[in-house]
Copies of this chain bind each other. A is one copy, B any other.
């Protein structure tokens, strides 16, 4: 079950991580959960949204994390445990990925009133 991030008014920074799963999924879920837990402890973290994790080989997953500033993104990138997880991801869990760092300029939310 999902939970959308309650981000503030723009501007802020979005890190869009899109990936294609490899055949090896061992330990992936545990590490992904740990990375979200660890990211949430970092200065400047605003929230995270993730979809499609846990798919089989060839499936796409997308994780978007939100940050107050570019400095916060760079600091998280330098976190030692995060660096190890990235390395393991390249060795084992992904066939391909793209990471895009973007500045959110405007946002619109909608909630059902049913």
> Quick one: CB contact mask for A72-114 with B, threshold 8 Å, 1 for yes?
0000000000000000001000111111111111111111101
Name the contact of A4 in the complex, choosing from B98, B102, B107, B114 (C-beta under 8 A): B98
Chosen A-B contacts, 22 in total, with CB atoms closer than 8 Å, are A1-B59, A2-B58, A2-B59, A4-B18, A4-B97, A4-B98, A5-B18, A5-B98, A7-B98, A14-B100, A18-B49, A50-B60, A51-B51, A51-B60, A62-B64, A64-B64, A95-B112, A96-B110, A96-B111, A101-B106, A102-B103, A103-B103
Given contact pairs A4-B96, A52-B52, A94-B112, a sample of 10 additional A-B residue pairs in the complex whose CB atoms are under 8 Å apart: A2-B59, A4-B60, A10-B100, A14-B100, A50-B62, A51-B51, A97-B109, A101-B106, A101-B107, A102-B103
